[in-house]
Amino acid sequence: MNGRVIAIDGPAGAGKSSVARAVAERLGWSFLDTGAMYRAVTFFALDHGIDLSDDESLEKVAVGLSISITERVVINGRDVTAEIRTPEVNSKVSSVAACSAIRRALVEQQRIFASEQAHGTVVEGRDITTVVFPDAEVKVFLTASLEERAKRRGDESAASVAARDEADASRVDSPLSVGEGVTILDTTNMPLDQVVDEVVACLRK
């Protein structure tokens, strides 16, 4: 049991996953991609024909949900690592992420995960610095220009990235925002190693 946390938030394509994974590797900590959890629930709901605008149905999905995120993403025993990155999931995940019952269930799992890691966890998402771990040792908000973020997303268009950011930043429950005590890093022209250095330096301050 440890519970040390580096929390990283930011819009789509800001480099959160690459940075969080590399920071975790450098420190020998665990890494948690919380976006993959929202994606897994979205895929599961779509696959079960659940109406994504119906909060009651989504709440039923949230109850008893088992998600395992390691190198693979597994939901209720099914490996959905590839399925959670499709354009359909890209376009629907923000509406599932706006459902409070889903957020409650996933936030609880995120806190349990971090409490169980031997050395610490680098957690990335949209509400990690503001809601999930507001007392994290290090809190970072990564951003980059829309053009750069769309480029990093590869097969996702700038319009799709921008639409998701707008939905994530304007929802009522835990919107993407810059919280208190957060270090903002604009990574538009920064190589990955430099971003990793800066995040690790925050831990040593």
Site string for ligand DC, 82-101 (x = CB under 6 A): -----------xx--x----
Total binding residues for ligand DC by CB under 6 A?
14
Q: Which of 149, 148, 123 is nearest to 12 (CA)?
A: 149
Question: Which conformational region is residue 141 in: left (phi greater than 0), alpha (psi within -120 to 50 degrees), or beta?
Answer: beta
Based on the shown chain and the rule CB under 6 A, indicate whether residue 10 belongs to the binding site for ligand DC: no
Nearest approach in angstroms of CB 102 to ligand DC is 9
**Residue 129: burial class (beta carbons within 10 Å; 0-12, 13-18, 19+):** buried
Q: Which value, to the nearest 10 degrees, does the dihedral of the CA atoms of residues 49, 87, 71, 147 take?
A: -150
Based on the shown chain and the rule CB under 6 A, indicate whether residue 125 belongs to the binding site for ligand DC: yes
Based on the shown chain and the rule CB under 6 A, indicate whether residue 164 belongs to the binding site for ligand DC: yes
Tokens 């809190």 appear where? Answer: 139
Instruction: Candidates 12, 23, 45, 80: give the one binding ligand DC (CB under 6 A).
Output: 12
Based on the shown chain and the rule CB under 6 A, indicate whether residue 39 belongs to the binding site for ligand DC: yes
Binding site for ligand DC (CB under 6 A): 12, 34-35, 38-39, 93-94, 97, 125-128, 164, 168
